[in-house]
Structure 1
Amino acid sequence: MKHLKYTICILAISIGFLSCSEDYFDVNSSVTAPTTESLAPQYRIKGAIENMFTGIIYRGSREILGVTQNGSQNNANYYSETWSSSFTTGRYFLWQNTYVYSLPNTADLIVLGKKHNSPNFTAVGKILRAYGFGTTTDQYGSIVFKETYDGESSLNLTPKFEDQKTVYQGIIKLLDEAIVEIKQPSEIELNANGGDVFYNGNKEQWTRLAYALKARYLNHLSKKSSGDMAYDADAVIEACAKALQSNADNAFRSYGGGDAENDRQPYAAGGYGSSRVDYFSHFFVELLKNSLNLPTAYEDPRLKIIVPEAINGGYQGVRTGEGPLPDNATGGDNYSLGNGGHYTSATAPTYMMTFSEVKYIEAEARFRKGDKPGAYAALKTGIQADFEKASVSSMETASYIAKMDAEIGATGITLGHIMVQKYITLLFDPETWVDMRRMDYSNTIYPGLERPVNVNLTIFPGANDWIQGMMYEYNEEDRNYENMPDNTANVRLTTPLWWNVAE
């Protein structure tokens, strides 16, 4: 949904952004777009959903590809791969996209749902809002939460930040409220104008998505053992049981594959994020060459589907931060391009939540409570669902599962087996960074994981020093510095987030 330019500027001011530059805002500007007062909710739901992809999922993953090591650039010392430059100056723009584009749409959807006696829309707004806040707090820690734009309150030029525990409590509350409201009768049908591009008005599927997100955020608390936000494996498992039931429930956005860059999967050739993934990374490719982590390597059938073969033959990734060898000019033909595979073609979908992720969350929760047979069963179901999603043949799927049964089984399952499968499934998803931090970047959990080549040694001098959070954007620091937590690079980039501190 397009916004009036002056409306965007007002929203920007409310969260601390006082400029409205052409190069940033012109993509959504319109002199004819209606305001909240003149719209019914059925005309806003599509924009609310789609802005979660362009504003949060893409922006949330774009800069951290060099942290999660999914893709690598065509030059050495690239800033996002070596955790320098823009990372240390706050020029990473998830913050703007969250508060200027994505969250205002969800707030308006909630307000309009109430105004038109249509709580189903209010519920969808809360589900999307929970996701937006969740992804943002998982990259920054403390964020603006209670005092951000809500479609009702007067504008606040200097909003306060809330600690991450408070934000998480608010996220769970939003999801619980949505689960109740999505079932209530509405005067306007959820898909009255064809705007529900997720589920075509299916309230049960929206309920399952809410439970899936609840399971995700409850599972993030794996290091919390006390207090009102302590990790509860049974609560996670219960949420998973009510969450997505098959790939038919996956929440995703499709693309037409046309000439316009916003009609292409962002990381596909010609997409607006294609320059961020010149090649697949060495770590990702090698993981697929032996995703079961067996003494004798067993190639994952997804390798040939996800990763294009290099021009000179074979599957070879570029080490993060190094650039292709033997040199940047001609070495690229020896490496697998980052676009053109199953998830990086022009028409490939982008996923917000999948059934396979739900099963991996369940597997982790069961593993943590000592139920290895249950964990193994959930893991197998998750793998089968992801193989189906990736269009792996039934024969290759059966062979892979048989190999896993023979070599690992319920007695041999480890947390690493679960997290590697989840890592592959969540390709280009900002959720991957949450997992890697929760797992302390362990190369036992993620075999072969190493810090990037040419990593920023000024801030990360030790071999075990890994990036933990993002700096707040420089313009927010300029406008709202009195409320912002310490934003110096050596603090923000190295301090673990609340859920990553054991207690």
Structure 2
Amino acid sequence: MKLITKAIYLASALSLTACSDDFFDVNSSVTSPTTESLAPQYRIQGAIENTFAGTLYRGSREVLGVCQYGSQNVANYYSEVWNNEFTTGRYFLWQNSYVYSLPNTADLIVLGKKYNSPNFVAVGKIIRAYIFGVTTDQYGDIVMDDTYDGESPMNITPKFVTQKEAYDKIIAMLDEAIAEINQPSDIELNAAQGDVFYQGDKAKWTQLAYALKARYLNHLAKKSSYDPDAVLEACANAFKSNADNAMRTYEGGVPENDNQPYSSRGYGSSRVDYWSEFFVETLKNSLNLAEPFQDPRLITLVPEAVNGGYKGVRTGEGPVGEKDDYSIGNGGYYTSATSPTYFMTYSEVKFIEAEAYFRKGDKAAAYAALKEGVTADLEKAGVAPADAAEYLAKMDTEVGASNVSLSHIMTQKYISLVFDPETWVDLRRMDYSSEIYNGLQRPAFVNLSIFPNDNDWIQAMVYEYNESDRNYENLPNNDATYRLTTPLWWNTAD
């Protein structure tokens, strides 16, 4: 699958618009939107794939160190110890979301209206809600109303909305999409084979909208407005099996962007030299039993070390001693050239459902949802049926409805969401608790100038320097000490 190249981009933090014939090449008007060149059926693939490149990948690249999935070949790597680019505003999810991802969704909405095809409007809103969701979950307050909409003149000093307002708008956007996706449309979603998610299946797009709605409603567990029944209702209308997963596949061809980003031939391969100690040790005892029982996903996700066995590098420390003693990052289920990248999965929906039931006090339903989520992830990861059955039987005897805990749910979700920026949301919601995530500890050599105490953990990202240069009058407090240590709105109790 090749990256669609005809797309609309912004050429500055929020303001300049251009039409591109090459990936990230900017060469047209810088003063007015351009949406006339393509009908919506030729824009949907670009909207999807540039969201992968600009938001999902960029939102996970540094965060995979924060979440202690991958570890570097050197000690003190900035994203693992929360330093350098994190403190100076050179972490570029902001630019990638607003410059490379959001404009495509805005144009898809405009063109869907122009060509009397509200199904494209709905898809634009679903993807747009995802982009805004990832962005606000890493920064907090974001720009929404004043960003590029495909119709209005550019605003070079856009105003921010609070994260609460952002969440209200995201949920409203998803509800609008659910109402619009099945409305009569003159052009079908896959008319030009551009719907690389669902090949024009509007029922599955509806399920994706509900899955995202469940995700964002569930983030609010610390707020007085949290409604587990609303979360469960969204889950009930979301994915039904792995066949519904929203994902991108790769062919492993010559171009970098035809390879899974974290594979040895992908453009993000250097971000995961090794698997982390925490991730590997979690897989060695994912049920957290007194007598460890190895998770069968270990051998599918993590390559065996050259010298044998499975060993991860402590985050922030780099390999100590013989490098061949450690499991390299490339070559497992998520890090091979043809490995898929997941946008949203059935297993995540079931883990969200399990958490909501657990918070309601219904442990039997929580365990049933948890087991279904684990079953789906074992299948997704290619675990042999006999090994999967043995692991699930162990779950039944050692955990079951009577013993299920939030730790069981969140640990399984952590394993399932490898490289997904959603994991950072969960770690913060769970207060980086080692009681929830058994064995979790702060990285070695963490930046003590900003995080001096053992219970200090990174909470948000600094806004990029180009935004502070251009839009300083509207920018929230962007002092690194404040930004990196202050919990986001959804992570504070009312």
TM range (shorter): over 0.9
Residue range with higher mean Cα deviation, 398-407 or 353-362: 398-407
1:27 Cα shift? Answer: 3.4
State the alpha-carbon separation in 2 of the partners of residues 340 and 211 from structure 1.
33
State the alpha-carbon separation in 1 of the partners of residues 16 and 285 from structure 2.
47
Say yes or no: does 1:75 pair with 2:74. yes
1:27 paired residue number: 23
Say yes or no: does 1:334 pair with 2:325. yes
2:354 paired residue number: 363
1:309 paired residue number: 304
Correspondence 1:470-489 to 2 at 5 A = 470-489=461-480
> How far does the alpha carbon of each residue in 1:139-177 deviate from its partner, in whole angstroms, 9 at most, with x for none?
000011111001111110100011000000000000000
1:3 Cα shift? Answer: 5.2
State the alpha-carbon separation in 2 of the partners of residues 415 and 96 from structure 1.
35
Aligned residue type for 1:429: D
Residue range with higher mean Cα deviation, 120-129 or 29-38: 29-38
Aligned residue type for 1:28: F
Say yes or no: does 1:41 pair with 2:67. no
> How far does the alpha carbon of each residue in 1:204-251 deviate from its partner, in whole angstroms, 9 at most, with x for none?
0000000000000000000001xxxx1000000000000011000000
Q: 1:261–1:270: 8 Å Cα contact kept in structure 2? A: yes
Aligned residue type for 2:98: Y
Correspondence 1:85-484 to 2 at 5 A = 85-225=84-224, 230-326=225-321, 331-484=322-475
Aligned residue type for 1:339: N
1:12 Cα shift? Answer: 3.3
State the alpha-carbon separation in 2 of the partners of residues 161 and 13 from structure 1.
17
State the alpha-carbon separation in 1 of the partners of residues 306 and 362 from structure 2.
46
> How far does the alpha carbon of each residue in 1:402-450 deviate from its partner, in whole angstroms, 9 at most, with x for none?
1111111101000000000000000000000000000000000000100
Q: 1:70–1:284: 8 Å Cα contact kept in structure 2? A: yes
Structure 2 stretches lacking a partner, 5+ long: none
State the alpha-carbon separation in 2 of the partners of residues 165 and 73 from structure 1.
35
Aligned residue type for 2:52: F
1:2 Cα shift? Answer: 2.9
Note closer, same or farther for the CA distance 1:70–1:279 as it changes in structure 2 (3 Å cut). Answer: same
1:28 Cα shift? Answer: 2.5
> How far does the alpha carbon of each residue in 1:25-82 deviate from its partner, in whole angstroms, 9 at most, with x for none?
9733276999511211000000000011100110000011121000000000000101
State the alpha-carbon separation in 2 of the partners of residues 185 and 202 from structure 1.
14
Q: Runs of 4 or more off by more than 6 Å in structure 1?
A: 30-34
Say yes or no: does 1:501 pair with 2:492. yes
Aligned residue type for 1:402: A
Q: 2:13–2:98: 8 Å Cα contact kept in structure 1? A: no
1:261 Cα shift? Answer: 1.0
RMSD: 1.8
For the residue of structure 1 that corresponds to 2:151, the secondary structure is coil
State the alpha-carbon separation in 1 of the partners of residues 252 and 219 from structure 2.
35
For the residue of structure 2 that corresponds to 1:366, the secondary structure is helix
State the alpha-carbon separation in 1 of the partners of residues 197 and 15 from structure 2.
32
State the alpha-carbon separation in 2 of the partners of residues 309 and 32 from structure 1.
50
For the residue of structure 2 that corresponds to 1:131, the secondary structure is helix
State the alpha-carbon separation in 1 of the partners of residues 139 and 328 from structure 2.
31
Q: 1:16–1:480: 8 Å Cα contact kept in structure 2? A: no
Q: 1:14–1:149: 8 Å Cα contact kept in structure 2? A: no
> How far does the alpha carbon of each residue in 1:181-201 deviate from its partner, in whole angstroms, 9 at most, with x for none?
001010001100000000000
Aligned residue type for 1:75: V
Aligned length: 487
Aligned residue type for 2:94: W
Q: 2:12–2:99: 8 Å Cα contact kept in structure 1? A: no
Q: 1:17–1:476: 8 Å Cα contact kept in structure 2? A: no
> How far does the alpha carbon of each residue in 1:268-326 deviate from its partner, in whole angstroms, 9 at most, with x for none?
00100000000000000000000000100000000000000001110000000000012
For the residue of structure 1 that corresponds to 2:238, the secondary structure is coil
Note closer, same or farther for the CA distance 1:13–1:107 as it changes in structure 2 (3 Å cut). Answer: same
In the superposition, the TM-score normalised over structure 2's length comes to 0.96
Q: 1:280–1:336: 8 Å Cα contact kept in structure 2? A: yes
Aligned residue type for 2:291: T
> How far does the alpha carbon of each residue in 1:342-389 deviate from its partner, in whole angstroms, 9 at most, with x for none?
110000000000000000000000000000000000000000000000
For the residue of structure 2 that corresponds to 1:252, the secondary structure is strand
In the superposition, the TM-score normalised over structure 1's length comes to 0.94
